[in-house]
Structures are given as structure tokens and as C-alpha cells.
């Protein structure tokens, strides 16, 4: 009877442990996924030659191919950390760090980090999780100062993964770059509509308004 109780206790511990942490493998370099990380580019229009806003999204040469363009070079030797939270969240402050970090490669592997298995204590082993990759310069040269922008040289757009009891590989990561981030959410800024787009939107709004005032 005592051995049965011990066995049940150990089984319960294993079950609770499985539900109290999730394991996720992060990667940005696979035959089916190419999402390198870029350095900063200068913005002479908005910031007088200072860093541009952080960009996100794959370039036409990425896999899957995207439409984003990057003016910075691929990052090398920067520190990479991994963050997650259960469910779908949009605020980076709600994410928690995993137990592993890694470093970006050099040369032909610049912009890429090795596949890294990360455990997040407290993250369920099943369900949906929101993830983010953050990159910092170990020397502190490219780290943002102050609370407004945080301390991250570059952060990915949040993305999600479906967890399983055996862990999951996060293939939803897309390229991103060093630059100014939104201090309220610790995410890259969402590009504002261009002037042409605003004019079109305004014309459509006026047209609809005029139609709504026509007499019946």
C-alpha cells in the first residue's frame, strides 16, 4: 500500500510539473524559415540622421518572402533572449523570460541564432502562448536608455505558437531590426499611413458623408 501511495505521489508531481512549465524551441534559420535580424538604419527624414524606427517583417529574400526592406547590416554576436506568456497578449511587459539565451552567429550565419530549446516556468504545456525574441548588444553600445524605450536594442513583433505536451517549435518568427520601439508595449512601431493613403481615406469619407445627406 505504501509503495502505491508513493507511486501516485510521484505521478502527481510529474503531472503538475508538466502543467507548470512549457518548453519551446526557437529558431530563425530552417529550409522553410529564413528570418534574419538586422542592425539599425539611419532616418534622415524624421530623426535628422538618428536611428529609424524598428522594422519587422520578412524581406523579399526571406522565407516566407515578405515586402519589408532593411537598410542595416545583419547583426553579429548580439545576445538573444526569449520571452513568452500564456494566451494572446499584445503588451511586451506581460511576457516572462525563458531559462536559456543564445548569441547571433557571424559571417555566413550573421543575423541567425542556433535553434534553442527554452523552458518557461509557469507556462502551461498546452494551449496558445505569445512569444517574442529580444536582442541586445553585450557591450551596451546599442541598448536603449531610460524607461520610455526600455533596454532592448531590437525586439520582434509578438507571435503565437500552439503548445503541446512534448514541446513546440516556434516557426512564426519574422525578421526585425534595431531601432526605436514603442515604450508602452515593447514592440516595433506600427507604420503610420502614408500621405497618399490619408488623402484617399479622406476622399472616401467625404464621399460617403455626402451620400448620407442626399434627400430621400
Residue-wise pLDDT for 116-169, tens only, equals: 999 999 898 889 999 999 998 877 665 554 344 444 678 999 999 998 856 689
Q: What's the Cα-to-Cα distance from 47 to each of 51, 91, 192, 196, rounded to whole Å?
A: 7, 25, 15, 21
Average predicted confidence (pLDDT) for the chain:
78
Q: What is the pTM of this model?
A: 0.77
ω into 113 cis (within 30 of 0): no
Residue-wise pLDDT for 72-115, tens only, equals: 999 999 999 999 999 999 999 999 999 999 999 999 999 999 99
Q: What's the Cα-to-Cα distance from 137 to each of 82, 104, 154, 177, 204, rounded to whole Å?
A: 15, 10, 9, 13, 46
Amino acid at each position: 500500500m505504501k509503495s502505491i501511495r508513493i507511486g501516485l505521489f510521484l505521478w502527481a508531481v510529474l503531472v503538475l510539473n508538466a502543467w507548470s512549465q512549457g518548453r519551446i524551441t526557437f529558431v530563425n534559420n530552417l529550409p522553410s524559415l529564413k528570418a534574419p535580424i538586422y542592425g539599425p538604419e539611419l532616418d534622415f527624414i524624421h530623426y535628422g540622421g538618428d536611428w529609424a524606427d524598428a522594422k519587422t517583417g520578412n524581406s523579399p529574400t526571406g522565407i516566407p518572402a515578405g515586402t519589408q526592406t532593411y537598410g542595416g547590416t545583419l547583426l553579429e554576436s548580439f545576445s538573444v533572449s526569449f520571452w513568452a506568456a500564456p494566451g494572446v497578449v499584445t503588451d511586451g511587459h506581460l511576457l516572462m523570460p525563458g531559462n536559456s539565451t543564445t548569441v547571433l552567429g557571424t559571417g555566413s550565419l550573421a543575423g541567425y541564432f542556433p535553434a534553442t530549446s527554452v523552458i518557461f516556468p509557469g507556462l502551461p504545456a498546452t494551449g496558445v502562448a505569445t512569444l517574442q525574441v529580444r536582442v541586445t548588444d553585450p557591450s551596451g553600445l546599442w541598448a536603449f536608455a531610460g524607461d520610455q524605450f526600455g533596454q532592448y536594442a531590437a525586439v520582434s513583433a509578438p507571435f503565437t505558437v500552439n503548445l503541446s505536451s512534448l514541446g513546440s517549435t516556434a516557426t512564426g518568427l519574422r525578421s526585425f531590426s534595431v531601432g526605436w520601439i514603442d515604450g508602452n508595449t515593447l514592440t516595433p512601431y506600427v507604420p503610420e499611413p502614408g500621405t497618399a493613403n490619408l488623402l484617399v481615406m479622406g476622399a472616401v469619407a467625404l464621399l460617403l458623408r455626402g451620400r448620407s445627406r442626399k434627400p430621400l
